[in-house]
Structure 1
Amino acid sequence: MQHDPDLLEALAAFKPVPFDGVVFRATRQNLSPVAASTNGGRWMVPRAAPVLYTSQQREGSLAEISFHYARMTPVPTKPVTVHRLQVSSRRTLKLIQADIASLGVPREQYKEVGLLRTQQIGAAVEYLGCDGLIAPSARWSCDNLILFPERLAIDCELEILESEEVEWLAWAKANGLYDHEEM
């Protein structure tokens, strides 16, 4: 993948920091919460580097999966599994909303789906050797931690602490994230 030299220069000005903490990941049932995806997403172009999307709040992980499930036809009705993970990384780049705007993503467009620019940013962060990216969630008032597992050092931690089954549809309705007609 070709990277924008101006974007690389702008990102290189940020200082990566270590991360050590608990994060949450909501998955469909029976999917490993530590299995990375190459399908792309907000912070990675499809078929590029593997990515593991997590949230620093349980509700953030549920809001993310609820958003995607609510857009499917038919809407999935099975519960999801929310996993609590202990994670450590060495070189994680933290971007706040103002940083993201300065990199070419206007605040009013941040919640949109399929933003090429956020994908370019994520790919460039991974290319620069970072093992993670902390960025605001587009779906909940919290930060998400996006991990690049191929960049994690061998001694970095990625441990499943606990898992719980959650009726995502009931949760989404209760939190105003699903208002479609009953199925």
Structure 2
Amino acid sequence: MKAGNMLKNGNFEEGPYIFPNTSWGVLIPPNIEDDHSPLPGWMIESLKAVKYIDAEHFTVPEGKRAIELVAGRESAIAQIVRTQKGKVYDLMFSVGDASNSCQGSMLIEAFAGNITLRVPYESAGKGGFKRAKLRFTAVTERTRVRFLSTYYHMKSDHSGSLCGPVVDDVRLVGVRYP
């Protein structure tokens, strides 16, 4: 956990083991199949799996691991964090592509409390990312932070493989003087 980050495992460095010669990442099943998420701190809050990827085989915005949202709106991650009602918070994160031939107009939706931020990302499928920030005021003592991909994407290599935007380096901090 980075200093000041209220989220657990916001950089996704803790997660399922990725075998060294596995160049396709690890699919993490949705919660309906598994009560204990292999991604500490996060729930796979969707009908479909998300992909856990590593820096050895993909472009990762920060550190060695990240999450690729591969199934559109049916592929979401979430975490519930303690907040102070009425206090202002910043949710900061990276959005990018994994450099795996996933091209096109991507859109990540980030939710915190009752606020939604839509972050567009134009992917050339060659890696890269941008930072985004969602400022919100907590409306309850617990706030659900959630990320999903608005659209479905398929790799441009004609493999028929689903792909999507990458989320990484997620931080939640209290704002002292908003």
User: TM-score, structure 2 length as denominator?
Assistant: 0.29
Of structures 1 and 2, the larger Rg is shown by: 1
More helix, by proportion: 1
More strand, by proportion: 2
User: TM-score, structure 1 length as denominator?
Assistant: 0.28
Greater RCO, CA 8 A, separation 6+: 1
